[in-house]
Structure 1
Amino acid sequence: MRKFGLIGKKLGHSFSKKYFTDKYEREGIADAVYELYELPGVHELPKLLQQEPELLGLNVTVPYKEQVIPLLDELDEAAERIGAVNTIKISNGRTKGYNTDYIGFRDSLETFYPEQERKQALVLGTGGAAKAVWAALEAMQIPYLRVSRQEGEGQLSYRQLGPEILATYNLLINTTPLGMYPQVHEAPQLPYSYITPQHFVYDLVYNPEQTLLLQKAAAEGAKTLNGLPMLQGQAEAAWHIWNS
């Protein structure tokens, strides 16, 4: 039996196990299972690999996407450039890290944000997921600014977001966990009244389907998308890597 799985700190609301279990059933894949591995710290990974010698691939979720890198034998070029790993291929006892978040986000954004509408993007958050988003925006030649609590070089603070900025940046991407279940009443501190029907708002959170951010943006007429298409895309890309 081929074994795959997900490592992270808290996996109670994991998308991956249901996605892959349904995929195996739908496609008649009878020789594969997908398990959840909650690790109290990323340093537990080598022990897990010893205990589970049948493992051929892992997905990696928060907070280990960056922390896992020093524990791997090798990095794919894109993962090295991005500085975050969400997929590990295990072959002959060696581990290689990849970033399929980048692929899932890029492909879903291509559909959601039409070329003729493209201006510039604001990326909320600076963690591992944000790094994959930055790389995809660069590949698509979409200029962007980072938004965080503190301002810095190439980075605005939330309090700097006024009408002029929102008029120039018509794509807003939330890479933070704000609004994720069970904290569904939270949302990034944006000046929502400056969001218009010309805006595209992409929230990487997928549970709930309509976060408070997306609800507020939709109320101003913006086009909205949650993180489900990105998740599906990154999962399929991971499956391709594990089986190639």
Structure 2
Amino acid sequence: MHKFGLIGKDIDYSFSKTYFTQKFDNLNIDATYENYDIDNILKLKSVLIREKNLKGLNVTIPYKQSVIEFLDQLDQTAKAVGAVNTIKIVQNKLYGYNTDVFGFMSALFPLLEKHHQKALVLGSGGASKAICYALKSFDIDYKIVSRQPVNNQIHYNDINKNTMNAHYLIINCTPLGTYPNIDESPDIPYAYLNQKHFLFDLVYNPKVSTFLAQGNNQGAKICNGYDMLRFQAEKSWEIWNA
């Protein structure tokens, strides 16, 4: 029996375990998918030693960047993004991929309108890096918003009415609002949102996060992260079986 799993921290809420377990049951695939909840990326080594027949892993917050040092090779997209969310294991060699880019592009592209020319990307972690890479491929200008801005990034306190009116696409790449902390949301001036805005949240649980609910209240278009996760999961499965 082949084994697959998810590496992350505090991942009881994980989409991946439920998704792949149902997939294996529905298709009568002789495989299992487990959560490997570790409080330090160094513990990845013990997981690899302990788990036999491990063929692939997904990687989530907060290890999408720090996991890279443990990998033998990165594919072109993962190297360009600087973040990995999928690992293929072949004869004890670890190959890193990024399927977040594919998942985001597949979920977002059908929903874009002509006026979605500029984006605010909330958060600067591994997920944010994948989203920025995808936005570049769409020729969408973006500004990264961070609590600790560097280079050309801005702080949440820098967002004003003019900033909001100049960026009609707003993407939450932070975990704020994820179950069980569903009352949390990124600190942006929601009162300046209107029907031209499109809020995309990588959070999928709850279906309508506080971030999305506040956008909806202002007439903005909203979308959660479920389809993105579904697309990236299927891309991971394709990689593991290639």
Shorter-chain TM-score tier: over 0.9
For normalisation by structure 2, the TM-score amounts to 0.96
Match of 1:4 in 2: 4
Match of 2:49 in 1: 50
The question of whether the paired residues in 1 share the 8 Å contact of 2:87 and 2:97 is answered with: yes
Match of 1:232 in 2: 230
The question of whether the paired residues in 1 share the 8 Å contact of 2:103 and 2:232 is answered with: yes
1:12 offset after TM fit, Å? 1.1
Map 1:18-37 → 2, pairs under 5 A: 18-29=18-29, 31-37=30-36
Q: Secondary structure at the match of 2:233?
A: helix
1:111 offset after TM fit, Å? 1.6
Deviations 1:183-238 (A, max 9, x none): 11111111111100000000111111111111110000000001111111110000
1:70 aligns with 2:38: no
Map 1:80-99 → 2, pairs under 5 A: 80-99=79-98
Match of 1:39 in 2: 38
The question of whether the paired residues in 1 share the 8 Å contact of 2:116 and 2:167 is answered with: no
Identical positions, percent: 47
1:28 offset after TM fit, Å? 2.8
The alignment covers a number of residue pairs equal to 242
- Work out the CA distance in 2 between the residues paired with 1:48 and 1:189: 37
- Work out the CA distance in 2 between the residues paired with 1:102 and 1:48: 26
Q: Give the residue type in structure 2 aligned to 1:16.
A: S
Extract unaligned runs of 5+ from structure 1: none
Map 1:95-110 → 2, pairs under 5 A: 95-110=94-109
The runs of at least 4 consecutive aligned structure 1 residues that moved more than 4 Å come to none
Task: Decide which moves more: 182-191 or 216-225.
Answer: 182-191
Map 1:68-217 → 2, pairs under 5 A: 68-114=67-113, 116-217=114-215
For normalisation by structure 1, the TM-score amounts to 0.96
1:163 offset after TM fit, Å? 1.7
Q: Give the residue type in structure 2 aligned to 1:18.
A: T
- Work out the CA distance in 2 between the residues paired with 1:152 and 1:12: 32
- Work out the CA distance in 2 between the residues paired with 1:14 and 1:233: 15
The question of whether the paired residues in 1 share the 8 Å contact of 2:65 and 2:82 is answered with: yes
1:150 offset after TM fit, Å? 4.2
- Work out the CA distance in 1 between the residues paired with 2:191 and 2:46: 51
1:152 offset after TM fit, Å? 4.4
Extract unaligned runs of 5+ from structure 2: none
